[in-house]
Amino acid sequence: MHGISKTLTEMNIVERSKLLDTVADALEVSASEVEDDGDPRDVANLVCVARTIRGMADDMSARDLHAAELLLEQGIMLIYQHESRRASLIH
């Protein structure tokens, strides 16, 4: 895990699929936390991106790499925003 990071292009199909699943899992955890906070719009956004990513993970091919990159960026940004909001509420 401490090795050099790979781009999606450098990853094989199994590695890409695992990455997509990991981000989708994190989005679903964030959605569950947001649901507890009572924000249905954010829950919907997190769940929709997670489901779209999961749909891509099942059939990942080289032609879908750009779309996968965009979805991963969007998903990671949504998680970051969620964590930032939670941190500001705690402090």
pTM recorded for the entire structure: 0.84
Q: What is the pLDDT of residue 2?
A: 59
Q: What is the pLDDT of residue 62?
A: 65
For the chain, how many residues are written?
Answer: 91
How far is 22 from 50, CA to CA, in rounded Å?
10
pLDDT in tens, the chain (91 residues): 556 788 888 888 888 889 999 999 999 999 998 888 777 898 999 999 999 999 887 776 666 788 889 999 999 999 999 888 877 776 5
Number of structural domains (the chain) is: 1
Helix (H) or strand (E) holding 34: helix 13-37
Is residue 6 in a domain?
Answer: no
Tokens of 32: 């569950």
Residues 6+ apart with CB under 8 A from 74: 49
Tokens of 77: 């940004």
| Structural Rg of the chain based on CA atoms | 14
Is residue 7 in a domain?
Answer: no
Is residue 79 in a domain?
Answer: yes
Is residue 1 in a domain?
Answer: no
